Every structure is written in C-alpha cells, then in structure tokens.
Amino acid sequence: MTDEVLVRADHICKYFKIGGGRMLHAVEDVNLSIHRGETLGLVGESGCGKSTLGRTLMGIYRPTKGRLIYDGKEIDLSNKKERFAFAKKAQIVFQDPYASLDPRMTVGSIIEEGMAIHNLYDAKKRQERVAELLDIVGLNREHANRFPHEFSGGQRQRIGIARALAIEPEFIVCDEPISALDVSIQAQVINLLHDLQKRMGLTYLFIAHDLNIVRYISDRIAVMYLGSVVELASSDELYTNTLHPYSKALLSAVPIPDPQQEAKKQRQIIDGDVPSPINKPHGCAFSSRCPVACEKCRQCAPELKEVKPGHFVACHLVD
C-alpha cells in the first residue's frame, strides 16, 4: 500500500426514488479515501449500503450528491466519454458467480468482451491474453471454449476475476466475492485475489460480511451502518481497539477459534431491527438501537472524526 490516494469519496450520497415522492437513502454523506495498492474492507449488516457504495465508487451508479475523485481528478459520470474511460480503470467482481456470467457465451468470449469494447489489442493478441488470464487465475487454456454451466462455483468466480482483469484495471470492487462459495474454496479465491494484488499492484474495495475474512485480507476496514461510515481504522486497530457501539456489537459476534476464549466472550446483542433507509431516525442513525444513546444522540448526527491517527469514529461519546 502507498500513501497515494487513488479513489476518494467526497460527501457521496446515493438515493433511489421509490414512488410516492419518497427516497431511499442508500448511501449518506460518505467521505473516505482508498490508497493505491490498498485493500479497504467494507463491513456492515445486509442492506446497510455497502454494495451501493461499491457500485458508486466504480461508476455503475452516479452519486446523487458529492464527488467521486479518481487519481486526483473528479469523474463526471454524466459524461459518457469520461464514464467509458473510467470503466477501463475500475472493475467489479460480483457476489454471485452463477448469475454474473452470461450462460450463452463461452468463457473465452466472456473474458474477451471487455477488451473488444475498449478496443484493446487485435483479435490474435486478445486470444493470447484470454489464455494468459486463464493461466493467471488457475484455470486451463482449454476452458476458453467451454460454457459457464460446465464449471463449479469456485471456477466460475475465477472466470469472473479473469474478466475483471482483462482490461488491466487499477481498482477492483470485490462485492462479497466469496459469499456464494463453499467454505472449502473460499480460501483459494481469497489467496488468488491477494496474490494478484501483489503481482499487479491492484487496489481493492473488499465488501464482505464475514469479519474474519475481512480482517485477513484488508489493510484498513470501514464499518457502515444505515448508509454511513461509522468507524474506519487499520484492521488491527479496529479489532483491538473498537470504539463505536455498533462496531463493538458487530465484532462481538465474530466466533473465536479457541473454544475456551469463545465460551468466555461476552456477546453484545443489538436490540431491534435496522430502521428503514426511507425513514431514518433523527440524529444518530444508530440511536434507536444503541445501548448507550443519550438525548444529544437523538437530536443531532455525529460527524466522522479522527480520534487518534488513522482511527475515525462517528459517535458523540467517543473523542
């Protein structure tokens, strides 16, 4: 990881119209930076806005408010030419390797498609590149002529990774890339992503709900709750010095491999359901479930502040 910021979210909001004049606030005022060569983990409960933020940072969604800065330059996603150029730099590996590959296309055509769209290389060179990418992700060159249904889940995810790498991106959003895979092959895919990062200097936003995996692969981790980042720190700092009440509850649910320590662990249960992103609580979004909420929490929303070098928290009770 370097000190150079590659991707920056500057007060990014993403809202969706849902009819009746109402808006779903999927992402709310997110500020964060991802450094070149870094893996930033993004965690939180289902529906907290992780995938929407990931898709906004790689240009699938246009922010409703705020700016997306890439390599020091604001990306205007309403400009077709700029959006197309940005698509070459930022790619995504989807959660579901079954749904994300077109069953009518051969593996070779799936991997080659991005190169053709971006007019990279001649036909012969593209074929060579497909073969090279299949080698890189641990598949056979002969697999180029087969169809997705002929592969296992882990192999399909390798095809998805080869497709993402085909146009030589710098930034990859890994959107729960192992959640749909058997536990036995999750580690293989994680190790592959890790090796590719070292080899190609890639930058990852790694979205996941398995907190042990996120800790293993990430340099820093951001915790999201109801569309906002509530805590951000290096992986070790977040796990050893958790400060936000929501992060504490989330991390207390992570199983410890040692059965004795696991038996002694105090698990913090969060009462109630996640509030609707259509009708968020006033003040701190976590105030309706927070065990230590006070009156101030229900009046005004806390800002994400740096409470010690590199450790940011959005909570009135942490400073």
∠ Cα 192 193 198 (to 5°): 95
CB closer to ligand SF4 out of 3 and 295 = 295
CB closer to ligand SF4 out of 186 and 287 = 287
CB closer to ligand SF4 out of 60 and 317 = 317
User: Binding residues for ligand SF4, per CB under 6 A?
Assistant: 245, 284, 286-287, 290, 292-293, 297, 302, 315-317
CB closer to ligand SF4 out of 56 and 288 = 288
The four Cα atoms 260, 249, 251, 208 give a dihedral, to 10 degrees, of 140
Of the CA atoms within 13 Å of residue 311, those in its CB half-sphere come to 17
CA–CA separation, 210 and 106 (whole Å): 32
Least distance (Å) between residue 73 CB and ligand SF4: 35
Helices (H), 18-152: 50-57, 80-89, 107-117, 123-136
Least distance (Å) between residue 288 CB and ligand SF4: 8
CB closer to ligand SF4 out of 183 and 269 = 269
The four Cα atoms 141, 142, 144, 147 give a dihedral, to 10 degrees, of -140
Least distance (Å) between residue 292 CB and ligand SF4: 5
Least distance (Å) between residue 307 CB and ligand SF4: 12
The conformation of residue 280, written as its DSSP 8-state character, comes to P
Least distance (Å) between residue 163 CB and ligand SF4: 40
CA–CA separation, 126 and 130 (whole Å): 6
